[in-house]
A and B are shown apart, each in its own frame.
Chain A
Amino acid sequence: EAGVAQSPRYKIIEKRQSVAFWCNPISGHATLYWYQQILGQGPKLLIQFQNNGVVDDSQLPKDRFSAERLKGVDSTLKIQPAKLEDSAVYLCASSNQRLPGQGAGNEQYFGPGTRLTVT
């Protein structure tokens, strides 16, 4: 099966500009995640969708970051305006969990990521 697709792979912008990232999850996966991975660190969850609803956005800097998954399939993450500290790899992941409490774990599959450099 096809994996998680992300675009673009690389983006360089100046601070205060805006940028958008796109993610298409594995077909049929109901849960979609956006992570931020700063160089030398583990991924940090920004937002989690179940179908087109938000499950968790507690670590999303909502003054500048926004995300949507309007039709419950692909998703867009936007940053406006960007800051220098937003330089990172933005990873999208998906899993097949459909119901709360379903199983003790549902494997998350990651895309290749978008490397953002803010100058």
Chain B
Amino acid sequence: GENVEQHPSTLSVQEGDSAVIKCTYSDSASNYFPWYKQELGKGPQLIIDIRSNVGEKKDQRIAVTLNKTAKHFSLHITETQPEDSAVYFCAASPMNTGFQKLVFGTGTRLLVSP
């Protein structure tokens, strides 16, 4: 089955710096790659996603890139702010009997210091 690895496990940056989180996946049939932000005591919140027919997607300060050949994808956050501090999860979606199923990475704790 699908396996998703995520690095780094923790990331500390200064406000205004950029942050990059990287994930690799194993199943070449996976075709959907969302990123979630989870704040303490809350459920994961979808922040951006990318489909396998696209190499890059950007939404304001957040961007995601996908390299299907190498089977890895990355989250880029520019001009980080203290409110970006949270745990970020990547996920990959192999189609499960035709229905989407998410396999999550182990998470990256991002700390943005003022």
Contacts and interface: CB of A to CB of B under 8 A. Distances in A.
A42 B51 contact: no
Given A43-B104, A104-B51, A113-B43, A97 B34 contact: no
Which bracket fits the contact residues of B? 20 to 34
A45 interface: yes
A75 interface: no
A40 B107 contact: yes
B53 interface: yes
Among B6, B51, B104, residue most surrounded by chain A Cβ atoms (within 10 Å): B104
B101 A48 contact: yes
A91 B43 CA distance: 7
A87 interface: no
Interface string B41-65: 1111110010111000000000000
A107 B93 CA distance: 11
Interface residues of A, number: 30
A112 B89 CA distance: 16
A27 interface: no
Given A4-B43, A105-B34, A100 B98 contact: yes
Nearest to B95: A101
B31 A45 contact: no
B96 interface: yes
B43 A110 contact: yes
Interface of B: 4, 6, 31-32, 34, 36, 41-46, 49, 51-53, 89, 91, 93, 95-107
